[in-house]
Amino acid sequence: MTTVRAAHRICPLCESTCGLLVDIDDRRISRITPNPRDVFSAGHSCAKGLGLGALESDPDRVRTPLLRTASGEFRTATWDEAFAEIGRRLPEYVSGAPGSCAIYHGNPGAHHLDTTFYLGELIAALGTRNIYSPASVDTWPKNLAHILLYGTGLGLSLPDIDRTDHLLILGSNPVVSNGSTITAPGMAERLRRLRARGGTLVVVDPVRTDTAALADLHVPIRPGTDALFLFGVLSVLAAERAVRPERIPEQVDGLPEVLDLAREFSPEDVGPACGVEPELIRRVARGFAAADSAVAHSRMGSCMQEFGTLANWLVEVLTIVTGNLDRPGGAMFALPPGGGPNTWPISTARPMLGRWWSRVRGLPEAMGELPAVCLAEEILTPGPGRTRALITVAGNPARSLPNTAHVEEALRALEFMVSVDCYVNETTRHADVILPPPPLATRGHHDVTLAHFQVRNVARYTPPLVDLAEGELAEWQILLRLAALAKGETGRTTAELDDEVAVVAARRAAKLAGVAPDRAYASTAGRRGPQRLLDLRLRSGPYGDRFGEEPGGLTLALLEAHPDGIDYGPLRPRLPEVLRTPGGRIDLVPEMIVADIPRLRASLVRPVPELLLINRRQRRGMNSWLHNALPQPDDGQCALLMNPGDAAGHRLVDGDRVLVTSPVTSVTAELRLDDALRPGVVSMPHGWGHRGPGLRTTRSAAAPGADYNALVDDTAALEPLTAAPIFNGVPVTVTRCREEDPR
């Protein structure tokens, strides 16, 4: 029996990265409490983090490899059997026409060290450009705006939430989601503190959310109109000469041009389309401009909508022209301990955009991936280069991508599919082989990627709490084995493969640190797997010891000696070195963006659909995958929410079973009335719809909920610059169900 008491563990579920203290009895998590001494989260946590034990001990979790048999059922298999099957079938697709084998890697992968460091090995071994992830249905409009303005899509600008005098949030509900592209444990508390110190919080959201309830001002905007609204705000700043050129960094070009663009979007011009009174737009503009420091922050609601890139560009423009870029209390850039695109001297010659194109629709690559809306058609459309095999790692595209019926039709049409995943869910039920990751307690943790979003420069690491048990493989070992099998290599051990990865990583780290590669490699010789790669990154990162050149600098050993983390202080100004644009300038009016403005202008004068569907997140949810393990409070939580006035107009009452119909299909849901929604807007959560044969998620299949993404279009209605689906602002009709409608 393994007993562990109050061991440190960073929660891997959401972007808040809370520090937890964990007890383990007989390898099972028996108790979790928040860590009050964590340098960043200081005692914050939520029901999900405290429920990690339930998540780990879920009886439905996959714990051994599963192989599909001739009769179509899964049977448990040994790792050797599972890898033998993959070795026999996968190489054909890897060596076939490019694109024959695709990969989809999902959200949890961004939170784990194993995937952060070893997924790239698998992708390289597959030699495919058909790489998909939820990034293209999540952040791309924001990434694109950042690529065009600052030169990197990952080193995003952050609201300096702990010091700002004025925060404008658009399309995010951090009190429930705990924040996104902002890593700030305890968002609700930070927002309360902002107000307590005399600051102002403004929330732009069609719904009076729990976040809006904390605000000084809530602007109940019509979905999809954030770009118009922000242009309206900018036009007020232009008209009232409220921009502050003296505070704008000298690298910024295009101030007069961007203000000129705004002039044709006065509050009177845009107000009716936004459903916002012109005076309210003026009030938002004046409040923002008058604050000593101010910053705007946007997320899902203003990304996954019709004008997502324009809206996210304008968020940055607003912060820049009011003189709030790269200043305390404004928009700043983190300095991630493990380094990354905004610390490395990367080439700026060619933006990571449109370097290749999808076969069927010709949609452009961005940041090394194709838009995920291409996945289904690349499988279903005949012709050379058709995708015939797929690997999924920590993803549930069958519920997370738009047009889920299309996605599942495609998964059924695959010749071979491997899933690295811990559930048999809507996606993995189509796999031929499922390979399960081991329990959380066997993994070390440091957030390499999310450190780019940290609102304070901190470094933390929590080590594995127990060793792998008999029959468990670390996820990085699984990924390395898959990579070797893809290349048809069977001879070498995982340890040998790992050494090869480390040699390359050491070379890169040595170059960054200005030391000899042998020295970097030798300095980390005592470690293996992700710990070794992390040590290389930390030591060659911005606080690193440069392999001994800077005694006292950051190393993994130093973090092990500081289990509550090390605080490197508040965000620091980083211009101009943070810029990765050609010439190191910030062009406020990128051509690609300006070219999209006529489309925005045209939207001013078109009829508004009667009802627009938007998404809402739920406190205990994490996209599609916690519903089985974590008790959900009540069965109405999947309900369609509607404003009582709209319900009366449609002769609907609370508790009705309704049919929600979009241009794609219909789903049924229970109706709940809620005056927090603005009229003309209805909402549902995504990730539900746990239906159909073959699921091994007993609890969620018993309360399946409505499948939001069945309703969302994956072809015609896309944001044109990023091919992002329009999750928010789906035109729908809502009618009472008849007896014959499916349940």
Ligand X SMILES: Nc1nc2c(c(=O)[nH]1)N[C@H]1C(S)=C(S)[C@@H](COP(=O)(O)OP(=O)(O)OC[C@H]3O[C@@H](n4cnc5c(=O)[nH]c(N)nc54)[C@H](O)[C@@H]3O)O[C@H]1N2
Contact footprint for ligand X (CB under 6 A): 14, 106-108, 112, 134, 137-138, 170-174, 176-178, 180, 204-207, 209, 221, 223-224, 226, 299-302, 305, 393-397, 400, 420-423, 425, 437, 475, 614-619, 621-625, 686-687, 708-709, 712, 727-729
Q: Which amino acid is at 222?
A: R
CB count, 10 Å around CB of 642?
Answer: 28
Q: Report the chain's terminal Cα–Cα distance, integer Å.
A: 47
Number of chain positions touching Mo ion (CB under 5 A): 1
- The residue number with the shortest CB distance to ligand X is 301
- Crossing angle between the packed helical segments 529-539 and 494-513, to the nearest 10 degrees: 0
Distances (CA, A) of 90 to 121, 339, 393, 482, 585: 16, 34, 15, 9, 46
Which range touches ligand SF4 (CB under 6 A), out of 8-16, 129-137, 258-266, 300-308?
Answer: 8-16
Q: How far is the CB of 10 from ligand SF4 (least distance, A)?
A: 8
* Alpha carbon distance 675, 208 (integer Å): 8
Residue 83: CA atoms inside 13 Å, Cβ hemisphere, count? 18
Q: Which is nearer to ligand SF4, 109 or 271 (CB)?
A: 109
Q: Which is nearer to ligand SF4, 17 or 615 (CB)?
A: 17
Q: Which is nearer to ligand SF4, 46 or 459 (CB)?
A: 46
Q: Does 173 bind ligand SF4 (CB under 6 A)?
A: no
Q: How far is the CB of 634 from ligand SF4 (least distance, A)?
A: 20
Q: How far is the CB of 12 from ligand SF4 (least distance, A)?
A: 8
Quick one: CA dihedral 409, 413, 414, 417, positive or negative? positive
Q: Does 14 bind ligand SF4 (CB under 6 A)?
A: yes
Q: Which is nearer to ligand X, 387 or 624 (CB)?
A: 624
From ligand SF4, Mo ion, ligand X, none, interface partner of 13 (C-beta below 5 to 8 A by class): ligand SF4
Q: How far is the CB of 245 from ligand X (least distance, A)?
A: 28
* Nearest CA among 117, 230, 85 for reference residue 476: 117
Q: Which is nearer to ligand X, 478 or 578 (CB)?
A: 478
Tracing tokens 């468990």 back to the chain, one arrives at 472
User: For ligand SF4, which residue of 7, 9, 18, 435 counts as binding (CB under 6 A)?
Assistant: 18
CB 663 within 8 A of CB 717: yes
Residue 522: CA atoms inside 13 Å, Cβ hemisphere, count? 6
Quick one: CA dihedral 157, 402, 13, 504, positive or negative? negative
Residues 593-612 that bind Mo ion (CB under 5 A): none
CB 623 within 8 A of CB 395: no
Secondary structure (3-state) at 658:
strand
Q: Does 392 bind ligand SF4 (CB under 6 A)?
A: no
Q: Does 678 bind ligand SF4 (CB under 6 A)?
A: no
Distances (CA, A) of 155 to 83, 248, 474: 37, 20, 29
Q: Does 15 bind Mo ion (CB under 5 A)?
A: no
CB 403 within 8 A of CB 434: no
Q: Which is nearer to ligand X, 203 or 291 (CB)?
A: 203
- The residue number with the shortest CB distance to ligand SF4 is 49
From Mo ion, ligand SF4, ligand X, none, interface partner of 17 (C-beta below 5 to 8 A by class): ligand SF4
Q: Which residues pair with 60 in a beta bridge?
A: none
Q: Which amino acid is at 416?
A: F
Residues 122-141 that bind Mo ion (CB under 5 A): 138
- The residue number with the shortest CB distance to Mo ion is 138
CB 474 within 8 A of CB 438: yes
Q: How far is the CB of 107 from Mo ion (least distance, A)?
A: 5
Q: How far is the CB of 397 from Mo ion (least distance, A)?
A: 13
* Alpha carbon distance 63, 434 (integer Å): 10
Distances (CA, A) of 251 to 115, 255, 314, 576: 36, 11, 18, 7
Which range touches ligand SF4 (CB under 6 A), out of 14-22, 68-76, 307-315, 514-522?
Answer: 14-22
User: For ligand SF4, which residue of 16, 116, 152, 404 counts as binding (CB under 6 A)?
Assistant: 16
- Beta strands (DSSP E) in 26-100 are 28-34, 66-68, 74-76
From ligand SF4, Mo ion, ligand X, none, interface partner of 68 (C-beta below 5 to 8 A by class): none
* Alpha carbon distance 741, 691 (integer Å): 16
CB count, 10 Å around CB of 490?
Answer: 11
Q: Which is nearer to ligand SF4, 86 or 182 (CB)?
A: 182
- Tokens representing 706 are 């409505």
From ligand X, ligand SF4, Mo ion, none, interface partner of 301 (C-beta below 5 to 8 A by class): ligand X
CB count, 10 Å around CB of 354?
Answer: 12
- Tokens representing 536 are 């290389």
Binding mask 174-193 for ligand SF4 (x = CB under 6 A): ----x------x--------
From ligand X, ligand SF4, Mo ion, none, interface partner of 299 (C-beta below 5 to 8 A by class): ligand X
Q: Which is nearer to ligand SF4, 178 or 358 (CB)?
A: 178
CB count, 10 Å around CB of 635?
Answer: 11
What is the DSSP code (8-state) at residue 372? G
Q: Which is nearer to ligand SF4, 104 or 423 (CB)?
A: 423
Binding mask 37-76 for ligand SF4 (x = CB under 6 A): --------xx-xx---------------------------
CB 456 within 8 A of CB 186: no
Q: Which residues bind Mo ion (CB under 5 A)?
A: 138
For ligand SF4, the binding residues (CB under 6 A) are 11, 13-14, 16-18, 45-46, 48-49, 178, 185
